[in-house]
Amino acid sequence: MELYYIIAVTDADRGEVMNALFREAGLPMILSMPGRGTAKNEHLAVYGLGETPKTVTCAVAGVQQAAQLTRAAKRRLFIDIPGKTLAYLTNDCKIGGTPHMEFKHELIVVILNEGYADFVMDAARAAGAGGGTVLHAKGTGSRRGEKFFGVSLADEKDMLYIIAHADEKAA
């Protein structure tokens, strides 16, 4: 059985449309998270833009569901047209077999303490990355998960998603 893990990063105003496409494809479990783009404020100011809120939508799909979702996203969100503010990534592997690992692009996931995403993104840009998406998260499983008035205090984290060409990933 071949499965795809699909991650779609869209502008926030297109997040509901992408969620609807995932549902229409019959995917039983969909994860949708708010995020933000990593464009520098000075670059945004040149174009008169503000911060770039994103929606990250993820699901596991079979071959037919992934194909249906891809066709629908091309038709309704134009994901195959260069210059759109939408990144779309699929990874596939066979259950019980060896993962098929011939990708043109790869996803780099960096988990770091909250507030350090800009430093990491600056280093990634210096190495050739074009941009990324930041998600807010909480660390779990740490012994440092102390309690304050009975409420667990988990470490605040940022997750940084960067899509890179496979041959440039190491840099």
The pLDDT value recorded for residue 20 is 92
Read off the pLDDT of residues 11-66 as tens digits, 9 standing for 90 and up: 888 889 989 999 999 988 888 888 888 776 665 555 555 667 888 888 888 888 88
Distances (CA, A) of 35 to 52, 124, 128, 170: 9, 18, 22, 25
Pick from 104, 120, 116: nearest CA to 169: 104
Contact yes or no for 142/154 (Cβ under 8 A): yes
pTM of the model: 0.67
Read off the pLDDT of residues 114-165 as tens digits, 9 standing for 90 and up: 889 889 999 998 988 888 889 888 766 555 555 556 555 567 888 898 888 8
Torsion sign over Cα 90, 28, 58, 81? positive
The pLDDT value recorded for residue 94 is 45
